[in-house]
Amino acid sequence: MVTERVGWWRRSRWALLSLLVLVPAAVVAALSIDAVDYLGSRPSVVTTVEPGQRADLSGAQLRVVDSWMAPWDSPAGERYAVPEGTALVSVTLELDAGAASEEFRCSVKLVEPDRDRRWTPGYTDTDYFPGRDLPDDVPTGCSWAEVPFPFEVTFLIPEDAADAVVIEAFTPDQLPRAFHLRLS
């Protein structure tokens, strides 16, 4: 009795062909779910707010009170030791979150809308109105408090972005809706 010997490639052809279809399909399915989540979590429906005007963030009111910039080659840039080729941007915001829920929180970033570059704030202390009828537990960022309060955010950005930046503010529950607050 003579038996024909079948090679491994021939015995495995259907399994290999199914892998050619299943692996790309699995990758596409996994990436499409992530892409939908990513696009839904990114601020993309933008309302521009002029200086001094207020943005409504889930019942809280946010506005730019003041802003200033210190390029590296200016006297202020030298005083703050701003690295060459960059600019320090300081923005004072006022938040009135008394009408919002106690779980209220928002994100604040500096954005160059034309080039879609974003910067998160650095750490800074808030000491604008110490002892002026504010409770001891007033937060220093974009979170709930019973009374309106100011807070400051600072950014170190490339010098070429200094003239085209806005504050982007949003709450996770309103995404993809966001506000671009123009600096004063």
Which range among 18-32, 85-99, 109-123 shows the weakest confidence by mean pLDDT?
18-32
- 54, pLDDT greater than 90: yes
- Report the distance separating Cα 108 and Cα 49, nearest Å: 14
Please write the tens of the pLDDT for every residue from 118-146: 999 885 544 444 445 545 555 668 889 88
Domain 45-182 class in CATH:
mainly beta
pLDDT tens readout for residues 3-12: 677 788 888 8
3-class secondary-structure state, position 85:
coil
- CA pair distance 24, 39, nearest whole angstrom: 22
Q: What is the pLDDT of residue 126?
A: 41
**Residue among 181, 56, 9 at smallest CA distance from 108:** 181
pLDDT at 168 over 80: yes
Cis peptide, bond prior to residue 176, ω within 30 of zero: yes
pLDDT, the chain, mean:
84
